[in-house]
Amino acid sequence: MKPNRFVRSRRLNNVIDAVGNTPLLRLKKVASTAPDVEVFVKLEFCNPGGSVKDRPAKRMVEDAIADGRLTDDKILIDATSGNTGVAYALMGAALGFRVNLVMPKNVSKARKDITQAYGAELIHSSPMEGSDGAIRLVRELVEKHPEKYFYPDQYSNPSNPLAHYHGTGKEILEVLGDRLSVFVTALGTSGTAMGTTRRLKDFAKEPGGRNIRCVAVEPAEALHGLEGLKHMASSIVPN
């Protein structure tokens, strides 16, 4: 039998150890009209939770456990539009801590079902207020019950971009190195953009490195309906 080329041959002790080291796939048809250009996508759906958000969730949780902010008597709570919630719920199931997720009521049923299957409790915010409404609600809950919750705050947590600096950016350079000229990503929490960009920009300072253009993409309008993405001019901007 021919092996699946996307299966990584590693023996793991925990599902969390499967986060990262996702494949880069060359898109030949997309670049067919530009013969001197290669286009690659990083297959973040290969993470165990199915998205890039596994990376920051893992880093934020591990850092909080290490410094004592997340303990057995605390409930992890955060605002999410879906993917980070799935990642938190997965971490909670694997490591044995409780998870509450605040998300807009109109988040897809599939996202809700997955997070609940992992044991997370959902708290719905107004669908009309989008992710900003979820952020405001979670802050209210934490302010009322600070002793009850650990609030990682994915939008302001430095562990979020660090996960991409030491993970996503590093992995891209290990495969492409000085072949890479442009990096493109979308904006939500901005963790992927900031962390990966910083690593790629540091590459320019290394021997044999080169300057890489980094492009961040956001929805053109405030009422865009795209889960996980932010129109920065009309949103609570991540710190």
**Among all residues, which ones are annotated catalytic?**
53
Q: What is the DSSP letter of 166?
A: I
As a whole number of angstroms, the distance between CA 164 and CA 170 comes to 8
**b/e map of 75-113 (b: 16 or more CB within 10 Å)?**
bbbbbbbbbbbbbbbbbbebeebbbbbbbbeebeeebbe
Contacts of 184 (CB under 8 A, 6+ apart): 214, 215, 217
Cα–Cα distance, 9 to 160 (Å, whole number): 27
Q: Which of 173, 154, 175, 186 is nearest to 76 (CA)?
A: 154
Tell me the pairing of strands 24-26 and 40-42: antiparallel
Name residue, tokens 């949103």: 235
